[in-house]
């Protein structure tokens, strides 16, 4: 087992060499200085070879590349466009434009090289050294950040390092395609712009068949394939970069190979679980079909208008990547007109209902490819079934859509997509499409991090109702509860009989029962509102039940009156009051878009059937189910909560989705699981754990922590607040002692603590007060350890935040009158720093290592405070603090460390007492940056510097909006205007423009995060 980062780098280097990558050194990487990250000599030679042009023409191309100076985001958008479309230059001899490619799709025409420990500078005196950078034809295509193979947490550290590297050297990300992170135990990769939650990867290094993550991604053929066929920017106003996950690449490649060989035109079935990017897989497959089969026509078929529009919009936003503009067919007549034996090559969208009857043969072409979404729902009954016709008063044979579609395109190849596996009775679907081409079940998606796990909780409200109602409800709940035993299959018939005998509407629409359930839902949601964004969906049994839920919530809970929406079909029989409560169909898309936003004003959506399939809300935390749903509909409904989510600003991530069952759908989940595995050796797909299992796992972790790391932790709830505080500090002190706990053991504790946090968040509404306190104790100790680690950067929560969590929301030590509560924590940083310093002095003799850490965290608080007015000074002292913390991590004699901390604290206090140039904080921030800029230092304390600060602030205000944090174009516009002002009005040297503008923008962003009205003009 490789346990050293250096050895791991060597292993990766060896794998690259076996794949044919050439090693680069200072001698072979031609650059003027360490600020240059493109090997222009190699690029020049490659351009000449690939395009058969002269060296002069290649130099023209390189000059075009060097013209672009921008943020890393905008550079990467431009770089991807260049890689795919080339650069156009004018050939004066031939008197025509030439399109020059930088990388060839012919693998053998490219040069593949890597640089280990690639030293780069920011053009001044700062440097960074990425572990390994991969170059194709001299262009940096991938950045590999590798970590010591010990703890999974190192992946997060690697991600943060590469994030900061983007701002340090934007040019390194100009042509980047893959951001690669690994500690060998876990490997992740993502697009240049992706948050860590949207990275893909593997939890094993050995992937079988002598493959590992390096050979999977960086085999020359695979990498070129990824560059040209599996990565693209959308055409949205705010472009999103897509990079295919392993299951998407696998599915597309297997399908293409199958389509090349298939004789009966059955293109197979792709079953990829809900939430794993099925629609994007269809985009990738369409691109490949058009590329491989030339003048192909691709017809995409859905079974619902809303799904058709969603998928159609996805394809419209991929027009540049597909090199085709998709067209939506609105009628059967248009379908016949567009495709009736004409050579209309392109991409078309239609719904399956247009094949409700015979159309005749529309085309005999064999280069038509039909991709059917949700194939299980519509592609049955190909041979017909006998049904009674009331009009004809006889049995007739009725056929399904599949028969008429096949007759319309007899030579077309047809491939089906489904988010849920085919049930046992859906054999006709296999007759249409053939067998599975690729499967990606829910358990695999969860393991890979493509989706989050789903947890299940059952609630039975304590109702004081008529005995008749209670008896009927008890029967349903009791029988369903018994079916939680997956071995109890024999009760199936009995339960079905019971359901048929019960008048469900009595229970599902009874006003008292709905009122009681609504109360429980709101109480439950309020407990969870801080876990994510407090967003829920209520699934009601009928329109009447949904309306009653809506009335209960908006009338009894004023805080949710304007945050609750009723989403269902309208009826001309609705009362005026009911009609006005339902979201108007004309506003549906607007309301849906709003509900999807993380910062949405809506928190509860009450639905019946709408939004249960094909509607993604990544931050949806919980679904309350009060409706019997079966089979595919059930699986698709509960998958609404399995999407991954990471808040771009707060970095809060979604750990799991929660289903709260008010009627007993577990029986149907069990049925579906049985059907999924019916007649095959396929493993059961769905992993939905009862929330009680999360609670059991949490208690198992308590035992492990108690036995190996923190003795007597189960006694923690019985201690008074002073003893609890001492308990936490004592446990922390022991874990810091490297003689008792090695780095490896400490990392194991960190992993256990993070698991405990996840399980307590999942089971939050069912655990006891004691279990909650023990969980928070472990979380606090973990936060204390990670906050003091040199591996973490300035954005991590420091000690004081952890202490806040220690005993629910407060830590009290009566003897020293130390009280740290919510208001102290969030409103008075100076007071908190004073408290920490006081505690450090108290612990100096008994626990000096903890005392040093508290001193460090007190200083960090002071730095955070002064950074709001003097960011340049804050950066200097922050770097000093990092160096001291590094010493603290490795030193056993810490008196000198504490002395250094005291000196640093004194330096910060002296700086805080100096008078400010401006009372206006925005101007003061800009003035501080400008007065420490190397090109403007000679203006220090001058009116010129004050004028520049005022001009720059005005530029920001003129171009700012309330969408600054969410739309990169606003930030880019402001950056451009700042550069323009500095260059034209103040003759600022071009070489320093990027660094200065980035420093200014960084502080603007920090201030807007803290106050959304910052840098805004008065309304």
Per cent of the chain over pLDDT 90 is: 27
Contacts of 364 (CB under 8 A, 6+ apart): 341, 410, 411
Contacts of 803 (CB under 8 A, 6+ apart): 725, 728, 780, 811, 820
Say yes or no to pLDDT of 741 above 90. Answer: no
Residue 421 tokens, joined: 């596996």
Higher-pLDDT residue of 936 and 715 is 715
Lowest mean pLDDT among 172-176, 641-645, 663-667, 828-832: 828-832
User: Which residue shows structure tokens 């070879």?
Assistant: 49
Distances from the Cα of 557 to the Cα of 551, 576, 923, angstroms: 10, 22, 44
- With H, G, I as helix, E, B as strand and everything else as coil, classify residue 480: helix
How many whole angstroms separate alpha carbon 568 and alpha carbon 585? 9
Torsion sign, CA atoms 275, 281, 283, 284: positive
How many whole angstroms separate alpha carbon 122 and alpha carbon 591? 46
Query: Looking at residue 506, what is its pLDDT?
Result: 58
Residue 134 tokens, joined: 């991969």
Confidence of residue 111 (pLDDT cuts 50, 70, 90): very high
From the CB of residue 143, how many other CB atoms can be counted at a distance below 10 Å? 24
Residue 1015 tokens, joined: 């840098």
Distances from the Cα of 810 to the Cα of 457, 730, 776, 795, 802, angstroms: 30, 18, 12, 23, 10
Average pLDDT over residues 653-661: 84
Higher-pLDDT residue of 796 and 53 is 53
Residue 899 tokens, joined: 């002395």
Higher-pLDDT residue of 879 and 623 is 623
Query: Looking at residue 140, what is its pLDDT?
Result: 97
Residue 21 and residue 128 in contact, taking contact as beta carbons nearer than 8 Å: no
Side-chain half-sphere exposure of 480, counting CA atoms within 13 A: 21
628-637 pLDDT, tens digit per residue, is: 776 667 777 7
How many whole angstroms separate alpha carbon 726 and alpha carbon 706? 17
Confidence of residue 132 (pLDDT cuts 50, 70, 90): very high
How many whole angstroms separate alpha carbon 654 and alpha carbon 642? 9
How many whole angstroms separate alpha carbon 916 and alpha carbon 918? 5
How many whole angstroms separate alpha carbon 757 and alpha carbon 738? 25
Which of 168, 166, 205 has the alpha carbon at shortest distance from 188? 205
How many whole angstroms separate alpha carbon 811 and alpha carbon 723? 10
DSSP collapsed to 3 states, 503-544: CHHHHHCCHHHHHHHHHHHHHHHHHHCCCCCCCEEEEECCHH
Say yes or no to pLDDT of 670 above 60. Answer: no
Q: Of all residues in the chain, what percent are helix, strand and coil, respectively (each to 5)? A: 50, 15, 35
Average pLDDT over residues 746-771: 80
User: Which residue shows structure tokens 């701002």?
Assistant: 167
Query: Looking at residue 867, what is its pLDDT?
Result: 79
Burial of 523 (0-12, 13-18, 19+ CB in 10 A): exposed
Please report the beta strands in 410-525, taking only residues with DSSP state E, as ranges in sequence order.
Answer: 413-418, 436-440, 454-458
Query: Looking at residue 76, what is its pLDDT?
Result: 94
User: Which residue shows structure tokens 């490659």?
Assistant: 46
How many whole angstroms separate alpha carbon 326 and alpha carbon 696? 51
Query: Looking at residue 807, what is its pLDDT?
Result: 32
The number of helix segments (H) and strand segments (E) in the chain equals: 39, 31
Say yes or no to pLDDT of 984 above 60. Answer: yes
Phi, psi of 333 (to 5 degrees): -65, -40
Average pLDDT over residues 670-674: 51
DSSP output for 689-732: EEHHHHHHHHHHHHHHHHHHTSTTGGGGGGS-HHHHHHHHHHHH
How many whole angstroms separate alpha carbon 45 and alpha carbon 51? 10
Average pLDDT over residues 916-920: 78
Confidence of residue 978 (pLDDT cuts 50, 70, 90): confident
Contacts of 79 (CB under 8 A, 6+ apart): 173, 174, 175, 176
How many whole angstroms separate alpha carbon 703 and alpha carbon 766? 19
Residue 806 tokens, joined: 């220690």
DSSP structural state of residue 683: P
pTM over 0.75: no
Residue 741 tokens, joined: 């706990």
Query: Looking at residue 796, what is its pLDDT?
Result: 29
Residue 849 and residue 733 in contact, taking contact as beta carbons nearer than 8 Å: yes
Average pLDDT over residues 546-564: 94
DSSP structural state of residue 646: B
Query: Looking at residue 594, what is its pLDDT?
Result: 92
Per cent of the chain over pLDDT 70 is: 77
Query: Looking at residue 557, what is its pLDDT?
Result: 95
Say yes or no to pLDDT of 425 above 50. Answer: no
301-348 pLDDT, tens digit per residue, is: 887 666 657 788 889 999 999 998 998 888 777 877 777 655 657 899
Mean pLDDT of the chain: 78
Residue 163 and residue 196 in contact, taking contact as beta carbons nearer than 8 Å: no
DSSP structural state of residue 558: G
Average pLDDT over residues 104-116: 96
Confidence of residue 282 (pLDDT cuts 50, 70, 90): very high
How many whole angstroms separate alpha carbon 835 and alpha carbon 790? 23
- The alpha carbon torsion through 568, 569, 575, 580 (nearest 10 deg) reads 60
Alpha helices in 24-168 (DSSP H): 40-51, 55-66, 72-85, 153-168
Query: Looking at residue 976, what is its pLDDT?
Result: 81
Average pLDDT over residues 565-573: 91
Higher-pLDDT residue of 551 and 672 is 551
Which of 923, 990, 921, 916 has the alpha carbon at shortest distance from 951? 923
Residue 158 tokens, joined: 């690697």
- With H, G, I as helix, E, B as strand and everything else as coil, classify residue 413: strand
Confidence of residue 45 (pLDDT cuts 50, 70, 90): very high
Higher-pLDDT residue of 159 and 467 is 159
**Most confident listed range (31-40, 449-458, 795-804):** 31-40
Query: Looking at residue 535, what is its pLDDT?
Result: 92
Query: Looking at residue 310, what is its pLDDT?
Result: 77
Higher-pLDDT residue of 111 and 354 is 111
DSSP output for 843-875: HTTT-HHHHHHHHHHHHHHHHHHHTTT-HHHHH
Burial of 666 (0-12, 13-18, 19+ CB in 10 A): buried
**Most confident listed range (205-219, 353-367, 943-957):** 205-219
Residue 888 and residue 980 in contact, taking contact as beta carbons nearer than 8 Å: no
How many whole angstroms separate alpha carbon 414 and alpha carbon 433? 6
Average pLDDT over residues 114-142: 90
DSSP output for 76-114: HHHHHHHHHH-EEEEETTTTEEEEEPSS-SSGGGS-EEE
Say yes or no to pLDDT of 606 above 90. Answer: yes
How many whole angstroms separate alpha carbon 596 and alpha carbon 590? 10
Query: Looking at residue 167, what is its pLDDT?
Result: 86
Average pLDDT over residues 995-1019: 73
Contacts of 421 (CB under 8 A, 6+ apart): 271, 439, 441, 676, 682, 685
How many whole angstroms separate alpha carbon 535 and alpha carbon 983? 47
230-269 pLDDT, tens digit per residue, is: 999 999 888 999 999 999 999 999 999 999 999 888 888 8
As beta bridge partners, residue 385 has 398
Which of 614, 620, 617 has the alpha carbon at shortest distance from 596? 617
Which of 582, 580, 565 has the alpha carbon at shortest distance from 617? 565
Confidence of residue 389 (pLDDT cuts 50, 70, 90): very low
Query: Looking at residue 2, what is its pLDDT?
Result: 46
Residue 77 and residue 233 in contact, taking contact as beta carbons nearer than 8 Å: yes
Confidence of residue 772 (pLDDT cuts 50, 70, 90): confident
User: Which residue shows structure tokens 């028969």?
Assistant: 403
How does strand 112-116 pair with strand 22-23?
parallel
Higher-pLDDT residue of 752 and 46 is 46
Query: Looking at residue 484, what is its pLDDT?
Result: 42
Average pLDDT over residues 839-844: 62
User: Which residue shows structure tokens 């009736």?
Assistant: 340
Say yes or no to pLDDT of 680 above 50. Answer: no
């Amino acid at each position: 087992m490789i346990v050293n980062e250096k050895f791991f780098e060597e292993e990766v280097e060896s794998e690259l060499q076996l794949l044919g990558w050439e090693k680069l050194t200072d001698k072979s990487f031609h650059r003027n200085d360490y600020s240059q990250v493109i090997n222009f000599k190699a690029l020049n030679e490659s351009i000449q070879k690939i395009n058969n042009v002269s060296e002069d023409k290649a130099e023209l191309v390189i000059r075009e590349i060097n013209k672009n100076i921008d943020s890393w985001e905008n550079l990467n958008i431009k770089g991807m466009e260049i890689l795919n479309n080339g650069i156009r230059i004018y050939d004066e001899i031939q008197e025509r434009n030439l399109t020059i490619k930088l990388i060839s799709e012919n693998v053998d025409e490219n040069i593949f090289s890597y640089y280990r420990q690639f030293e780069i500078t920011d053009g001044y005196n700062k440097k960074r050294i990425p572990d390994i950078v991969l170059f194709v034809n001299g262009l940096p295509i991938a950045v590999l950040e590798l970590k010591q193979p010990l703890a999974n947490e190192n992946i997060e550290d690697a991600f943060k390092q590469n994030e900061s590297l983007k701002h340090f050297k934007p040019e390194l990300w100009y042509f980047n395609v893959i951001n690669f992170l690994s500690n060998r135990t876990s490997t992740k990769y993502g697009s240049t712009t992706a948050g860590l939650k949207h990275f893909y990867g593997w939890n094993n290094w050995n992937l079988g068949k002598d493959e590992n993550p390096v050979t999977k991604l960086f085999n020359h053929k695979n990498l070129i394939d990824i560059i040209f066929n599996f990565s693209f920017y959308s055409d949205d106003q705010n472009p999103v970069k897509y990079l295919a996950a392993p299951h998407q690449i696998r599915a597309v490649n297997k399908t293409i190979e199958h389509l090349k060989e298939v004789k009966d035109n059955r293109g197979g079935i792709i079953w990829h679980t809900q939430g794993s990017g099925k629609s994007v897989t269809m985009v990738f497959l369409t691109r490949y079909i058009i590329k491989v089969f030339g003048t192909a026509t691709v017809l995409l078929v859905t079974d619902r208008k809303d799904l058709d529009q969603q998928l159609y919009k996805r394809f419209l936003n991929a027009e540049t990547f597909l090199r085709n503009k998709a067209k939506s067919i609105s009628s059967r007549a248009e379908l016949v007109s567009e495709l009736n034996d004409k050579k209309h090559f392109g991409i078309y969208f239609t719904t399956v209902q247009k094949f409700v009857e015979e159309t005749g043969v529309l085309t005999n072409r064999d280069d038509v490819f039909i991709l059917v979404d949700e194939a299980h729902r519509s592609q049955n009954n190909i041979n017909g079934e006998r049904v009674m016709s009331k009009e004809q008063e006889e049995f007739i044979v009725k056929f399904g859509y599949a028969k008429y579609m096949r007759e319309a395109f007899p030579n077309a190849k047809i491939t089906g997509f489904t988010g849920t596996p085919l049930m046992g009775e859906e054999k006709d679907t296999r007759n249409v499409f053939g067998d599975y081409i690729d499967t990606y079940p829910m358990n695999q998606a969860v393991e890979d991090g493509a989706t989050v796990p789903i947890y299940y909780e059952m609630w039975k409200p304590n109702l004081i109702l008529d005995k008749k109602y209670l008896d009927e409800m008890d029967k349903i709940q009791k029988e369903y509860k018994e079916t939680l035993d997956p071995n109890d299959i024999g009760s199936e018939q009995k339960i079905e009989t019971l359901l048929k005998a019960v008048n469900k509407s009595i229970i599902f629409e009874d006003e008292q029962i709905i009122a009681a359930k609504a109360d429980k839902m709101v109480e439950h949601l309020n407990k969870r509102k801080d876990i994510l964004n407090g967003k829920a969906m209520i699934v009601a049994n009928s329109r009447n039940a949904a309306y009653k839920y809506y009335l209960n919530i908006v009338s009894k809970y004023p805080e949710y009156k304007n945050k609750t929406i009723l989403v269902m079909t309208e009826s001309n029989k609705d009362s005026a009051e009911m009609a006005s409560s339902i979201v108007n169909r004309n506003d549906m898309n607007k309301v849906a878009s709003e509900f999807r936003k993380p910062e949405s004003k809506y928190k509860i959506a009450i639905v019946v059937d709408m939004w249960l399939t094909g509607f993604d809300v990544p931050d949806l935390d919980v679904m309350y189910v009060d409706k019997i749903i079966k089979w595919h509909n059930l699986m698709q409904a509960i998958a609404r909560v399995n999407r991954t989510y990471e808040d771009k600003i707060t970095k809060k991530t979604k750990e799991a989705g929660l289903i709260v069952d008010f009627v007993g759908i577990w029986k149907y989940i069990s049925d579906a699981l049985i059907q999924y595995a019916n007649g095959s050796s396929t493993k059961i797909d769905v992993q939905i754990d009862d929330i009680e299992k999360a609670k059991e796992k949490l208690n198992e972790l308590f035992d492990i922590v108690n036995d190996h790391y923190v003795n007597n932790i189960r006694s923690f709830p019985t201690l008074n607040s002073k003893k609890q505080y001492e308990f936490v500090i004592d446990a922390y002190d022991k874990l810091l002692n490297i003689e008792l706990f090695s780095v490896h053991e400490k990392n194991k504790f960190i992993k256990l603590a993070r698991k405990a946090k996840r399980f307590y968040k999942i089971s939050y509404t069912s655990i006891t007060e004691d279990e909650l306190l023990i969980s928070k104790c472990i979380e606090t100790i973990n936060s204390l350890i990670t906050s003091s680690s040199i591996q973490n950067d300035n954005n991590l929560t420091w000690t004081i935040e952890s202490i806040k969590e220690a005993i629910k929301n407060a830590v009290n030590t009566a003897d020293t009158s130390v009280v740290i509560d919510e208001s102290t924590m969030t409103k008075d940083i100076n007071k908190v720093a004073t408290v920490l310093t006081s505690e450090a002095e108290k612990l100096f003799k008994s626990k000096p290592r903890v005392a040093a850490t508290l001193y460090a965290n007190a200083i960090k608080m002071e730095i955070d405070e002064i950074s709001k007015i003097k960011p340049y000074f804050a950066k200097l002292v922050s770097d000093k603090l990092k160096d001291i913390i590094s010493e603290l991590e490795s030193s056993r004699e810490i008196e000198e460390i504490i002395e250094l901390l005291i000196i640093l604290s004194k330096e910060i206090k002296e700086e805080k007492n100096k008078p400010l140039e401006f009372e206006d904080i925005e101007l003061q921030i800009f003035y501080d940056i400008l007065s420490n800029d190397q090109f403007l230092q000679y203006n220090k304390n001058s009116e010129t510097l004050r004028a520049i600060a005022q001009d720059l602030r005005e530029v920001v205000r003129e171009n700012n909006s309330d969408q600054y944090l969410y739309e990169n174009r606003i930030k880019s516009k402001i950056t451009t205007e700042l550069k323009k002002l500095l260059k034209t009005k103040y003759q600022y040297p071009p070489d320093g423009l990027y660094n200065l503008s980035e420093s200014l923008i960084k502080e603007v962003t920090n201030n807007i995060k803290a106050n959304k009205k910052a840098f805004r003009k008065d309304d």
